[in-house]
Structure 1
Amino acid sequence: MVHDRVIELENIGLISYKKAWEYQQKLVQERLKNPLLSDKLLLVEHPPVYTLGTGSTLNNLKFDLKSFSGELYRTERGGEVTFHCLGQIVVYPILNLHYYKQDLHWYLRQLEEVVIQLLYQYNIKSYRIKGLTGVWIGNAKIAAIGIKVKRWITMHGFALNVDCNLSGFKQIIPCGIQDKFVTKMTHYDPNINIIEVKEKLVETFAKVFCISII
C-alpha cells in the first residue's frame, strides 16, 4: 500500500494532558470541517496523570478518589485506565483514515507494528497478545494503545515506556489486566536515549504507514 500522504510532525515535548487533549479535539474538528487538511503526528510527554477510557471501571484504581490529589481524566478513547509520566513517549496521530484504510482493527495493528519494529531496532523482541491491544515483552506491557475515531478521523494513540518511573502504575490495574505487568525500554538497554527513540519512532511510523513526514 503506497500513499502520497504527507504528515506534519509536531514534536511538542512536555505538555499537560488537558492541553494536549483539547488540541487534539481542535485538530479533529478542523478536519471534520475540511477533510483536505494534512494529517498530524503529535509527540508529547505528560506530567504524571491517570486517564480512563470510555468504558473504564473505577475498580481498577487502587487509590481512593476522595483523597486523591493528582490528575485524572475520563476521556473518549477506548481502553481501560493507564498512567502517563515523564520519560514516556505519547504519540497522537491525527489521521484521516479515508486516505488509508477505513478499518479500526487494521489501524490498531499498524500502531502496534510501529512499536514492534522500533523496538526491534534496539534488539528488543516484542509481540502482540491475541485478544489484547498493545505491545508486550514477556508478561509485561511496554506500549499501551487507546484510540478514538470520529468519521474516520483519529485521535488519542499510544504510549511507549522509554525511561520512565513505573511506580505510578502500582496505583492502578494497568489496562484492567490483573496478571500482567509494565516494563520500559531502559530495562533492556540502560543507555537508550529518549531523543533518539523519538527520531527512530517517527521514521518507523512513516515506513509502516507508507507516508512522508515533514
Structure 2
Amino acid sequence: MPSRSAWLVQAGCLDYAQVWAWQRQLQDNRRQDPDRPDVILLLEHPAVYTLGRGASLEHLKFDPQQAPAPLHRIERGGEVTYHAPGQLVGYPILNLRRHRCDLHWYLRQLEAVLIDVLAIYGLTGERIEGLTGVWVEGKKLAAIGIQVSRWISMHGFALNVCPDLSGFTAIVPCGIRDRAVGSLAEFCPSVRFEAVRSQVAVAFARVFDLELQPCSIEQLLAEEHLEPSVFDDGSGAKPCTNKNC
C-alpha cells in the first residue's frame, strides 16, 4: 500500500472502552512497525464521559462514583467531554512522520477538516485563539483531544451532528464555562448523520493528502491481529438508535 494511503473504517455505535483498547493496539502496532498504513476510524459512542490526563474533577457536576454514564480518564490532552449517539467521533491513527512532526500543525489540520465540512452547510466554522476546536456563532460544535507517541497519533475529534446535548449539562465542557455547546442540526435541521460522516472522510483525505481505502472492522481485526476480547462480537458494532437525525 502506498505511504499516502490510509484505511478508512466507518463503523456504527461502539462501546467507548472497546474502541479505546482498539486504538492503543493500533498505535502500538505502528510504533513497532512504522510502515503500517494510517487508519481513520469514524463512528459513534453510547453516552460516555472522558477526562483528559490532566483534567480537573472540578469540571464534573456529579459525583464521579455515581456518574450518569460511564466515566473514563484517558491519555489524551484536554479537559472533560461527553460523547453520545449523533456525535461523529473521528480517531486518526497517523504516522505523523509521513505528514509533519508538528503537533500544532496537526491540531490545526484537524480543525481545517471540520471547518471544510461545516462550509458545505453554509456555516462558517471559527477558531478561537488559545483554544482547540471549532465554533459556529459562539457555540462549540467540534472538540479535539489527541495523544501522540513516537509521532503515532490516537484519539482525535468529535463533531456534534445531531446528538442529544443534555449530557453536556452535567459537566463544564472542555473546562470552558463561558461558551455554549451546539450541534450542526441546530443550524441545519435536515442534516443526515451518514452524509456528514462521508463528507468528513472526503475532507480528511483532501486536507491530509491521503487516498482512503475502505476497510471493515473484520478486515482490520485480521490485518492488525487485534485481540478478539477487545470486541463484543464479530463486528464490534452495537445497535444504536438516535431520533435526532
TM-score, normalised relative to structure 1: 0.97
Which runs of no fewer than 5 residues in structure 2 stay unpaired?
Answer: 214-245
Whether the 8 Å contact between 1:161 and 1:183 is mirrored in structure 2 is: yes
Within 5 Å, give how 1:70-109 maps onto structure 2. 70-109=69-108
Which runs of no fewer than 5 residues in structure 1 stay unpaired?
Answer: none
CA distance in structure 1 between the partners assigned to 2:207 and 2:78 by the alignment? 23
Q: How many residues align?
A: 212
Per-residue displacement from partner, 1:50-105 (whole Å, max 9, x unpaired)? Answer: 00001100000011223325200000000000000000000000000000000000
What letter is aligned with 1:194? F
Aligned to 2:233: none
Whether the 8 Å contact between 2:3 and 2:37 is mirrored in structure 1 is: no
Task: Identify, as 1 or 2, the structure richer in strand.
Answer: 1
Report the alpha carbon displacement of residue 4 of structure 1 after superposing the two structures with TM: 5.2
Report the alpha carbon displacement of residue 37 of structure 1 after superposing the two structures with TM: 0.3
TM-score, normalised relative to structure 2: 0.85
Aligned to 1:120: 119
Q: Partner of 1:144: helix, strand, or coil?
A: strand
RMSD of equivalent CA atoms = 1.0
Q: What stretches of structure 1 move > 4 A for 4+ residues in a row?
A: none
Within 5 Å, give how 1:103-182 maps onto structure 2. 103-182=102-181
CA distance in structure 2 between the partners assigned to 1:134 and 1:9 by the alignment? 22
Report the alpha carbon displacement of residue 138 of structure 1 after superposing the two structures with TM: 2.1
CA distance in structure 1 between the partners assigned to 2:158 and 2:50 by the alignment? 12
**% identical aligned pairs:** 48
Report the alpha carbon displacement of residue 140 of structure 1 after superposing the two structures with TM: 1.2
Per-residue displacement from partner, 1:107-159 (whole Å, max 9, x unpaired)? Answer: 00000000000100111111100000000112210000000000000000000
Q: Partner of 1:158: helix, strand, or coil?
A: strand
Whether the 8 Å contact between 2:44 and 2:86 is mirrored in structure 1 is: yes
Whether the 8 Å contact between 1:142 and 1:183 is mirrored in structure 2 is: yes
Report the alpha carbon displacement of residue 43 of structure 1 after superposing the two structures with TM: 0.7
Within 5 Å, give how 1:4-19 maps onto structure 2. 5-19=4-18
Within 5 Å, give how 1:178-197 maps onto structure 2. 178-197=177-196
CA distance in structure 2 between the partners assigned to 1:66 and 1:77 by the alignment? 22
Report the alpha carbon displacement of residue 209 of structure 1 after superposing the two structures with TM: 0.6
CA distance in structure 2 between the partners assigned to 1:197 and 1:69 by the alignment? 28
What letter is aligned with 1:152? W
